[in-house]
Structure 1
């Protein structure tokens, strides 16, 4: 598995983004259920968000987020940074080590 930091940047006013937050979070739950996501949350101040994700490939991760309501409704842009997690907390070992 490859590991990524996903950065979301809102393209529209926050009030419009907030209308789609429930659909966005429901979609993210499918990523949690599939083991793709470890954590997610909004930036402070609320100009977007961050996620810690994993996927078999960069393209697979892009495909997943292309279906996110924030993407399909053109509310936000997504940036993906791959990284190699060489150190981590013991409680997260299983998530990082799974193939």
Structure 2
């Protein structure tokens, strides 16, 4: 499992120009069951995605299709972790 930490490299005005395309990218990944949760940072300096992809190289290939990546609007930090404890509703993450 990975936490994807996006940090914007451009002004929010520029980010907003590609936001609809980014949301389409996210929707595709949710449909494929790759992404579990996502949202903006507060303050709005980027975003966070919780991803259940097991392979870092596969995740890197997926990220290349994100319009924010294609247009060099954000940096991506990938943090891999293994859940060892969850609330009851998220037990599936440990399977």
Aligned length: 95
Alpha-carbon distance change, 35 to 97 in structure 1, aligned in 2, over 3 angstroms:
farther
Q: CA RMSD in A?
A: 1.1
Partner of 1:77: 75
Contact 2:83/2:94 (8 A) holds in 1: no
CA apart distance, 1:91: 1.7
Partner of 1:35: 33
- Structure 1 residue ranges (4+ consecutive) displaced by more than 4 angstroms after TM superposition: none
Unaligned runs of 5+ in 2: none
TM-score by length of 2: 0.94
Partner of 2:61: 63
Contact 1:54/1:61 (8 A) holds in 2: no
Q: Say which SS state the counterpart of residue 67 (structure 1) adopts.
A: coil
Residue 10 (structure 1) aligned to one of 8, 11, 28: 8
Matches within 5 A, 1:76-95: 76-94=74-92
Unaligned runs of 5+ in 1: none
CA apart distance, 1:56: 3.0
